[in-house]
Amino acid sequence: MDELILRALIASLLISLNASVAGTLTVFRRASFLVAGSAHSALAGVALALFLNSIGINAHYFLLALTAALFFALLSAKAARKGDVNVGIATAFSLSMALAAIFISLTRNSASNAWQFLFGDILLLTVDDFAIVTISTAFVLLAVSFFYHKFLFISFDPSGAEAMCLNVYLYDFMLIALISVSVVTALKAVGAILVFSIFIAPSSTARILGRSLSSVFVISFILALSSLYLGLLTSFFFSIPSGAVAAAIASLVYFAVSWKQ
Amino acid sequence: MKAIEFQDVSFSYNSEEVLSDLNLEIGRGEFVAILGPNGAGKSTMLKLTLGLLRPKKGTVKVLGFNAYEERDKFVDKVGYLPQREEIHLEAPLTISQVVKLPMLAKGKKVGEESVRKALKIVGLENISDKLFSELSGGQQQKVLLARALLSDPEILLLDEPFNGVDVLSQEKIVEVLAEMSSRGKTIVAVVHNINPLLHNIDRVVLLNRRVVAVGKPNEVFSEENIVKAYGTSIPIVVCEEGYTHPLYGDYHG
Ligand SMILES: Nc1ncnc2c1ncn2[C@@H]1O[C@H](COP(=O)(O)OP(=O)(O)O)[C@@H](O)[C@H]1O
Ligand SMILES: [Mg+2]
């Protein structure tokens, strides 16, 4: 099999793991906006990296994207603490889009590079990209399994958690940060605009269908993976971007299921 | 040593003072109800007791410890039932998972037997696999009570435990609280309607940003005090057993 295709198949699997774990925790935390927010701030980081590279300064897109997304996570956690999440999120969101637009316009020959990060292309992952996805997925899964019950508790009953001396702000920030890492992991493969559908639609669907914690994780994994594979399959036969097809499928499944409820 | 002491405590979230010059002592083993209109500062008072908020002035002590500064020294001895509105139902947790979650989050093991025992006390041991989100308000409140009982706390703080709770569940909760009280536990319950608890409590605190009145229910529920707390008068009846009941409609906050 073509190496690029094999890579895409395995990367889809890894991204589905991210989508299931981070997406489900996002839904439990009632923070879907967060995925969109960190994806778009990551985009500002990517745009800065592309710009720096174009003027001869070496910068890796993943590091800058991660930094930008974590900075966004910090702002969100702080805003959540003050109780006014929406204004903070919305402002940070549009600020990062503005920065992304500025950096992209400053960058020569940027259009196609920027396009990949906007809509993703799982068939264009380099060996480096693939390594990043693998390591970062392992990191997210490990960290989440370590703090799993704390994340659940602060999402279910923040007052009760606080009353028990759990450092709710710290764990909330860690949760938001891990979700951001997960989003950045999927960024190049799925794209900043479509990552929302791959992360949130399957988990929200699974939240409706699942009758237990584990079933929500499993269902969202299966939904994310089938969407991504169907996307690949479609792009193989027709020349349509696979990420867009995957995102469309995941979103339509969500609407179909929530319609029936 | 008192269970809970408020010494000249004032508190504000921003500029407006929410609680002013609170002085109150709650003895060990006392069963106290806190009563007052919406926004009176009742929940704030419980949060000050838990050491979650720092008083602007004065000191809150719990079991002799400074509530804000020495929180970790008494936290294991205090059980807390938050207002049910503060709980989020997105995660499909079963009843027994809800009961276990605090312990698991603290990295402690929980035996199935102790969970079953706690659920038995509130009469829910047979449906421990049901989803919490699908329970009635009364059942949810009983689960939260069982969760608080798991660690056998010295002091139990409850924030509006009867809100949206059916009469049978309400009776069960009162029964469990009365039993705890008879075993010498300290109980502080914030309530909108005092009547379910009236026969069991030792004292009532009427609160409206400051302590309007405190004492035995019969002393506290006077026309004058109720007008001071609620700004309007409420009919009062004395029941056969000689308790003074304020008769507000079943209004919810
Ligand atoms: N986190 C907060 N930030 C700002 N103001 C608050 C906060 N929590 C409560 N308040 C205000 O403090 C006052 C007392 O609130 P609270 O203690 O919840 O009253 P109660 O429980 O008696 O209804 C209310 O006016 C409320 O609006
Ligand atoms: Mg309240």
- A137 CA distance to ligand 2 centroid (A)? 42
Nearest ligand to the CA of B86 is 2
Instruction: Provide mean pLDDT across the span B233-246.
Output: 80
Nearest to A156 among B71, B83, B87 (CB): B87
pLDDT > 70: percent of chain B: 98
pLDDT above 90 as % of chain B: 79
Residue nearest to atom 3 of ligand 1 (CA): B13
Are B92 and A212 within 8 A, CB to CB?
yes
pLDDT of residue A84: 62
Least-confidence region, from B76-90, B150-164, B238-252: B238-252
pLDDT confidence of residue A119: 87
CATH numbers and ranges of domains, chain B: 4-252 (3.40.50.300)
Neighbouring residues of B8: CB distance < 8 A, sequence distance ≥ 6: B21, B22, B23, B57, B58, B59
- Which pLDDT belongs to residue B52? 93
Torsion over CA of B96, B97, B103 and B105, rounded to 10 degrees? 180
SS3 content of chain A, % helix, strand, coil (to 5): 85, 0, 15
Residue B11 or B241, more confident: B11
Say yes or no to pLDDT of B33 above 90: yes
Instruction: Report the residue of chain B nearest A27, measured CA to CA.
Output: B90
Contact B171, B141 (CB under 8 A): no
Residue by residue, DSSP assigns A140-183 as: HHHHHHHHHHHHHHHHH-HHHHHHTT--HHHHHHHHHHHHHHHH
Please choose, from the candidates B95, B75, B93, B150, the residue with its C-alpha nearest in 3D space to the C-alpha of residue A152: B93
Residues 135-154 of A with CB under 8 A from B: 149-150, 152-154
Instruction: Give the pLDDT confidence score for residue B249 in this predicted structure.
Output: 52
Tell me if A157 and B80 make a contact (CB, 8 A cut-off).
Answer: no
What is the model's pLDDT at position A60?
93
pLDDT per residue over B120-135, tens digit each?
999 999 999 999 999 9
Residues on B contacting A at a C-beta cutoff of 8 Å = 50, 52, 71-72, 75, 78, 80, 82-83, 86-88, 90-94, 97-98, 101-102, 104-106, 131
Count Cα neighbours of B61 within 13 Å in the Cβ-side half-sphere: 15
Q: Half-sphere exposure of B116 toward its Cβ, with a 13 Å CA cutoff?
A: 4
Helices (H), chain B: 42-49, 71-74, 95-105, 112-121, 137-149, 167-182, 217-220, 223-230
Confidence (pLDDT) at B253: 37
- CATH tag, A3-190: 1.10.3470.10
pLDDT of residue B252: 42
More confident residue, B24 or B193: B24
Name the residue ranges covered by the structural domains of chain A: 3-190
- As a whole number of angstroms, the distance between CA A250 and CA A203 comes to 10
Q: What is the mean pLDDT of residues B70-79?
A: 94
- For residue A106, what is the enclosing H or E element? helix A85-106
Contact A163 B106 (CB under 8 A): no
User: Rg of chain B over CA atoms, in angstroms?
Assistant: 18
User: Residue A85: what pLDDT?
Assistant: 61
pLDDT attached to residue B235: 80
Length in residues, chain B: 253
Cα separation, A37 vs A140, in Å, equals: 19
Could you list the pLDDT tens digit for every one of the 261 residues in chain A? Answer: 688 899 999 999 999 999 999 999 999 998 888 888 888 899 999 999 999 998 999 999 999 999 999 988 888 778 777 766 667 677 778 888 899 989 988 887 767 778 888 888 898 899 999 999 999 999 999 999 999 999 999 999 999 999 998 999 899 999 999 999 999 999 999 998 899 999 999 999 999 999 999 999 999 999 999 999 999 999 989 988 899 999 999 999 999 999 987
Global confidence as pTM: 0.92
Cβ atoms of B49 and B60 within 8 Å: the answer is: yes
**Which range among A27-41, B47-61, B81-95, B203-217 shows the weakest confidence by mean pLDDT?**
A27-41
Which residues of chain B are within 8 Å of residue A158 when distances are taken between CB atoms?
Answer: 86, 88
A3-28 and A32-54 helices, crossing angle to 10°: 140
